Structure 1
Amino acid sequence: MKNIPIPIVAIGPGSQASEDDEMAILNLPSGMATFHQPILPEPEDVEALERAREVLEATLAALRTYRCGDKPKVIELAGVDADNIDLINQAMGEGEVSARLEGDGPVLAQESVLAGVWRVQYLDQWQQVVRDTLEVADIPHFVRQPPNTCKALDLDFDGHPLASGNAPSLLAEIRDAQQAWQPGDDAHVINLSLLPVSEEELALLGERIGVGEVTLLSRGYGNCRIGSTRLRHVWWIKFYNSEDRMILNTVEISDVPAVALAAQEDIDDSAVRLDEILELYR
């Protein structure tokens, strides 16, 4: 089975703009992606593709009952043949957000044009698909539960050449915010773009909080690249303009950064749109 194309993007330290970059006039993101009705085959051309219609109806039922924060609703695609998969792919399209879980058993996720509907594929160590699903959720399940996160943050700067800089206070703020954060709390955001932080301090920050196994890319308005860290609920987020120049660099303590989540209103709209698509084949 063919893998869904999900880009792998670099997340972490070392991308703070130089003084020259800060003086340049940046081109801000210039467009917002909007929903376009998928181009679908005529009903008579897919009359035999009953399994695809069943999958799409099950997806519609899941969309109608799902509420943000619920456990994801999963539709298995095992045993669905290539022709039926093609129709499902045409109806789903490719949306703005993708995600990847690294590790011995990688997981790939691509949001469809229907917000809140994700194609999620599980790979083996040879990068072959061993499980293929549709998942209805505000974010794929593995993003909320990164498997390898530590609990302690190293704040020892005894004798370190950067002990008198900003890195120790930033790391202390991250530790305090992470320990205090509870489900339902607002995100705690540290805007590195507004702070006098050197490249060396950013590198140290990245070294101490580490690189996690979850990466997300949101392409709805410029690019937003999100990486989990080795600290639970701590994310490194970078926003880029249409020329791939970084315009915002932040560390966020939250469940999942809001920029990656499908909103309830969007999920409700997806149910309406999928119902309209299915009307062609009922």
Structure 2
Amino acid sequence: MKAAALADLAAPGGTASAAANGGKFTPLLAAANGEGLAERSPRVAALLPLMIAALATQDADRPGHLFDLDGLDAAELELIDGVIGAGEVSATVALPDGIVAQIRESVMAGLWRVRFTGADGRLVADYLEVGAIPEAVRRAAAMTRRTVATGALSAPSPTALALLSEIAQHVAEYAARPEAAARPSLPGHTITLSLLPVSDADMAFLHQTLGDGPVQIVSRGHGSCRVLATATRHVWSVQYFNASSDLVLDSLEIGDVPPAACAATEDFRDSAERLRQIEQAYFT
């Protein structure tokens, strides 16, 4: 479960509207009574129980549920934003043909807003997704190369060469696991670079060899966590920063999307209850 706890929801006029907007007051919800919102926004009102049901039954290892927002007008989309709020995790995913996915988790863990734009800035798709991590993240990461490019550069030290060999071994082992496709959240292997005698030249060598991938994820709280896909499949850079933006932990994770960016099964149950409280407070 994610470490950052969300504020408890309350009755209308209390803290529910603040929690629904990432801690910021939401006049749209607070000023409206439930009956009025349900009558003025029947399509949003009809969407909420479907999302609650999806959250209540979702599992971290199962495919997610999509809720297409195409066709909703500007007022309805504004209301959706007010209901789900903006959480601490955001991501950018670069896809072929210049398409970019902008992803933001709501204040309810496991409920994501996903918007695709084309190279010309035109909106291609807009939907809500219930899942551990949006499928666009996994699909983009799967488009990277399958093996470690061990012969790309001359290693600056035996340490760098040993690390690259370790990474290549664990990438091959993870890819060969028959259960990995069915259960993508299976634990992988972590190499904590912060605890090793790695020089700046070694780090530059690893960066150039592994390459830059198509996924960037940032989780913000008291500090922040940055998760980057490398250009090598199953290899992720995970870095933790304190409140002063100092790097405190630097690691490579071999496996699926690192848990730091994902919702856990217990998160979905909590999010279902929180969204249910919002529905009861403002839409019934």
Q: TM tier, shorter chain? A: 0.7 to 0.9
Q: 1:176 aligns with which of 152, 169, 187?
A: 169
Letter in 1 for 2:198: V
TM-score normalized with structure 2 length: 0.83
Partner of 2:85: 93
CA distance in 2, matches of 1:235, 1:170: 14
Q: 1:218-244 CA deviation, whole Å, 9 max, x = no partner?
A: 113410000001111110011000011
Judge conservation of contact 1:155–1:171 (CA < 8 Å) in 2. Answer: yes
What is the CA-CA distance between 1:43 and the residue it aligns to?
2.2
Deviation string for 1:227-272 (max 9, x for gaps)? 0011111100110000111000000002110111111111101111
**Take 1:154 and 1:161, find their aligned partners in 2: how far apart are those partners?**
12
Q: How well do the aligned residues superpose, as a CA RMSD in angstroms? A: 1.8
Letter paired with 1:240 = F
When you count helix as a share of all residues, which structure comes out higher?
A: 2
Which stretches in structure 2 are left out of the alignment for 5+ residues?
10-15, 18-28
Alignment correspondent of 2:250: 249
Give the drift of 1:106: 0.5
> Which residue is 2:238 aligned to?
237
The answer on whether the counterparts of 1:92 and 1:113 sit within 8 Å (CA) in structure 2 is: yes
SS at match of 1:59: helix
Match of 2:75 in 1: 83
Q: CA deviation at 1:73?
A: 0.2
1:124 is matched with which residue: 118, 128, 142? 118
Deviation string 1:50-91 (CA, Å, 9 cap, x unpaired) is 111112222112112222111110000001011111211111
SS in 1 for 2:213: coil
TM, length-normalised to structure 1: 0.83
Equivalent position of 1:112 in the other structure = 106
Q: CA shift at 1:198, angstroms?
A: 1.0
In 2 relative to 1, CA 63–173 (structure 1 residues): closer, same or farther, beyond 3 Å? same
Counterpart Cα distance in 1 of 2:241 and 2:230: 20
Indicate conservation of the 8 Å contact 2:90/2:103, yes or no: yes
Q: CA deviation at 1:127?
A: 2.2
Identical residues among aligned pairs (%): 36
Q: Tell me the distance in 2 between the aligned counterparts of 1:269 and 1:49.
A: 25
Contact 2:212 2:229 in 1 (8 A): yes
CA distance in 1, matches of 2:258, 2:210: 17
The aligned runs of 1:23-62 (5 Å cut-off) are 32=4, 34-35=6-7, 37=9, 38-39=16-17, 40=29, 41-46=32-37, 47-62=39-54
Paired residues in the alignment total 250
The aligned residue for residue 22 of structure 2 is none
For structure 1, the residue ranges without an aligned partner over 5 or more in a row are 1-30
